[in-house]
Amino acid sequence: MNNILETNNLCKTYLVNNRQYHILKNINLTVKEGEFISVMGPSGSGKSTLLYNISGMDKMTAGEVNFGGEKLSEMSENELSELRLNKMGFVFQQINLLKNLGIIDNIIISAYMAGHKNKDLIKDRALNLMKKTGIIDLADNEITQVSGGQLQRAAICRALINSPQILFGDEPTGALNSSAAEDVMQVFHDINQEGTTVLLVTHDVKIAAQSERILYMLDGNIEGEYIMDKYNYLEDDLKERESRLTKWLLNMGF
């Protein structure tokens, strides 16, 4: 399979009160098309920073990120926006929906902004995604009128509306209860099955155990990786995967 994303000695350093903080230290990472990856690690290990830097939301200090053969460091702000809009999807722990727009508007805004001419097609796709994620009845609701899990599913719909090549999740289930989290993960598996690459940042072993590759980060370095079979939520025993992963994590010092 082809590589969709590669980093080459990616570094990120913050300067606070004249002191340098090295958050990412020479990260070398390869993501293949269709992979389902989780990044784990303690708070402050650099997980989210890694995600922001490989998606072009944050500017790297040194090194390189390649996405689909293009170097992020050579792209302008506008080109980076276009890349995120058309080829990447994002789901955040804080959900980050636009509070002045209703549910359906939050979903279609990215597609409208991407300049797709056929608005009816967009609307159909949005309604399909909502049906798939089980929130079709909430289309006309305001975001203050629905639960956290429903909001996160709306956020996933938004992330998927432009059929991205890769979906990034920054603790996407962090603010949800366990049943809502399960629903959200099911959506991730479904889209992964359809070919979308998924890269999640998580604290949760139960979530990470559903990926096929788990990266463990500590102090800005990728300390190790753990490979499993692709998870099939209909057949596989999640408990067993969890215990294998836990053992490895304990070994890594998590």
Under the rule (CB under 8 A), what is the footprint of another protein?
48-49, 52, 57-58, 77-78, 81-86, 88, 90, 92-94, 96-102, 104-105, 108-110, 112-114, 119, 123, 139-140, 142, 144, 158-159, 170
Query: Of 100 and 179, which has the nearer Cβ to another protein?
Result: 100
Q: What is the CB-side half-sphere exposure of residue 30 using CA atoms within 13 A?
A: 5
Residue closest to 51 by CA, chosen among 97, 94, 7:
7
Query: Of 57 and 238, which has the nearer Cβ to another protein?
Result: 57
Least CB distance from residue 230 to another protein, whole Å?
Answer: 28
Alpha carbon 206 to its chain's center: 16
Identity of the amino acid at 60: M
Least CB distance from residue 9 to another protein, whole Å?
Answer: 21
Query: Of 163 and 246, which has the nearer Cβ to another protein?
Result: 163
Strand partners, 142: 102
> Are 222 and 29 a contacting pair, CB within 8 Å?
yes
Least CB distance from residue 8 to another protein, whole Å?
Answer: 21
Q: Token digits for 51?
A: 């995600």
Least CB distance from residue 185 to another protein, whole Å?
Answer: 21
CA distance 90 to 170: 8
CA distance 119 to 121: 5
Query: Of 21 and 112, which has the nearer Cβ to another protein?
Result: 112
> Are 196 and 162 a contacting pair, CB within 8 Å?
no
> Are 85 and 110 a contacting pair, CB within 8 Å?
yes
Least CB distance from residue 112 to another protein, whole Å?
Answer: 4
Query: Of 90 and 226, which has the nearer Cβ to another protein?
Result: 90
In sequence order, which residues have a C-beta less than 8 Å from that of residue 143 and are 6 or more positions away?
97, 98, 99, 101, 102, 103, 106, 151, 154
Least CB distance from residue 13 to another protein, whole Å?
Answer: 14
Query: Of 20 and 94, which has the nearer Cβ to another protein?
Result: 94
Query: Of 158 and 206, which has the nearer Cβ to another protein?
Result: 158
Q: Packing angle between helix 148-160 and helix 119-132, nearest 10 degrees? A: 140
Least CB distance from residue 90 to another protein, whole Å?
Answer: 6
